[in-house]
Amino acid sequence: MKIDGRDYRSVWVDADDHWSVHILDQTKLPWSLEVLRLTTRDAAAHAIRSMQTRGAPVIGAVAAYGLCLALREDASTEAMERDADLLNATRPTAINLRWALDRMLTRLRNTPASERVAVAYHEAALIADEDAAQNAAIGRHGLPLIEAAVRPGRRVNVLTHCNAGWLATVDWGTALSPIYTAFNAGIDLHVWVDETRPRNQGAALTAWELGKHGVPHTVVADNAGGHLMQHGEVDLVIVGADRVTRTGDAANKIGTYLKALAARDNNVPFWVAMPSTTIDWTVSDGVAEIPIEERSETEVTEMTGRMADGTIATMRVISAGSPAANPAFDVTPARLLTGLITERGRCPASAEGLLGLFPERR
């Protein structure tokens, strides 16, 4: 996507050395646009763990490139398996991480060690390019949902939670892809952006992305969504996902489940947008089976922002001495979803719905 007229992806290989990996440091947005150059496996692992790069599809792509960086140091089978395990352990919920590393290992295990680096970079590039293409397709398949909400004389209001934009993927985004596609098609739309405590991916990243693309939007407190729905201010909700079960349960940023309950109570369509790389075909009961990442309590007790004098500061926002809990995701049961938007089209959030789009999984 574009930043001030210049095309960017969220991860790319250095055009000069053809091996180091660049990412946008998402912990510095929206205050500054900083590119990080990753040169080691550990730098890639840290980038994922610390959320310098975050979002299910892009952490899969960065992990794939992290394995490339590891193979440059040691392409032996023992080291390759160890390094893939280390990268896979960086975050537990998004299935794209394991999917990408499993795909890399499948491609590399039968490749001579002397050829692994070149083959690995080629496979990682395919993963990245495929993600961008899949997310563009999600935009095309989600567009009719926004078109159906067009009414004479009023804008379409879409609510989204967290950041499932191009920053969270290699390009286009998932939940935001239909929004960009509709905006580019000239549809008069507006986006309610959930701030998404505690990491504020909505306030810091989605608002920044939409602003750079010129998409009208308003940041709201996470707790405002139900009120907006009660007063007819939300035509549909589109969110991303970190793991979708074979039955259509969807793990996504904490707070998604509560938004889905409010949407159901107000008859507001609630869609999950995700590429098929986010589907975990091995699990059926999302609440029981999807591991939920517990992150540091400091993400709840502290906030980072820009002071009046322009300096960036982090401060405590919770009563001193009070502990905090920080589950980073929750699972929305399929019964609360209107449907799923994938690169192959839309379907009900159900086993049959997904198998209708992915019959090879029967």
Ligand X SMILES: CSC[C@H]1O[C@H](OP(=O)(O)O)[C@H](O)[C@@H]1O
To the query of whether residue 242 is one of the catalytic residues in this protein, the response is: yes
On whether 136 is known to bind a ligand per the annotation, the reply is no
- C-beta closer to ligand X: residue 146 or 168: 168
CA of 158: how far to CAs of 3, 16, 166, 278, in Å?
22, 41, 17, 23
CB 220 within 8 Å of CB 195? yes
Tell the smallest beta-carbon distance from residue 174 to ligand X (Å). Answer: 4
On whether 54 is known to bind a ligand per the annotation, the reply is yes
The one catalytic residue in 131, 171, 222, 242 is 242
- C-beta closer to ligand X: residue 190 or 259: 259
Residues 314-343 that bind ligand X (CB under 6 A): 328
- Which residues have a Cβ under 8 Å from the Cβ of 164 and sit 6 or more positions away? 55, 173, 174, 175, 176, 206, 238, 239, 240, 241, 273
Token look-up 């996504």 returns 252
Residues 260-279 that bind ligand X (CB under 6 A): none
Token look-up 């009046």 returns 308
Residue 23: DSSP 8-state:
E
Residues 49-78 that bind ligand X (CB under 6 A): 54-57
- C-beta closer to ligand X: residue 120 or 240: 240
Distance of alpha carbon 293 from alpha carbon 142, whole angstroms: 29
- C-beta closer to ligand X: residue 201 or 342: 201
Distance of alpha carbon 45 from alpha carbon 181, whole angstroms: 32
On whether 91 is known to bind a ligand per the annotation, the reply is yes
- Which residues have a Cβ under 8 Å from the Cβ of 255 and sit 6 or more positions away? 161, 162, 194, 196, 197, 222, 330
- C-beta closer to ligand X: residue 132 or 162: 162
On whether 82 is known to bind a ligand per the annotation, the reply is no
On whether 201 is known to bind a ligand per the annotation, the reply is yes
Distance of alpha carbon 114 from alpha carbon 121, whole angstroms: 13
Number of amino acids touching ligand X (CB under 6 A): 16
Residues 163-222 that bind ligand X (CB under 6 A): 164, 168-169, 174, 201
DSSP secondary structure string for all residues of 213-280: HT--EEEE-GGGHHHHHHTT--SEEEE--SEEETT--EEEETTHHHHHHHHHHTT--EEEE--GGGEE
Residue 335: DSSP 8-state:
G
**Rounded to an integer, what is the distance from CA 61 to the centroid of its chain?**
12
CB 146 within 8 Å of CB 108? no
x/- mask, ligand X, residues 229-248, rule CB under 6 A, reads ----------xx-x------
- C-beta closer to ligand X: residue 104 or 341: 341
- Which of 80-88, 117-125, 160-168, 222-230 is the region at the interface with ligand X (rule: CB under 6 A)? 160-168
Length of the chain: 362
DSSP3 helix / strand / coil % (the chain, rounded to 5):
45, 20, 35
222 φ/ψ angles, rounded to the nearest 5 degrees: -55, -35
Annotated binding site for substrate: 54-56, 91, 201, 252-253
Interface residues toward ligand X, by CB under 6 A? 54-57, 162, 164, 168-169, 174, 201, 239-240, 242, 252-253, 328
Q: Which residues are catalytic?
A: 242
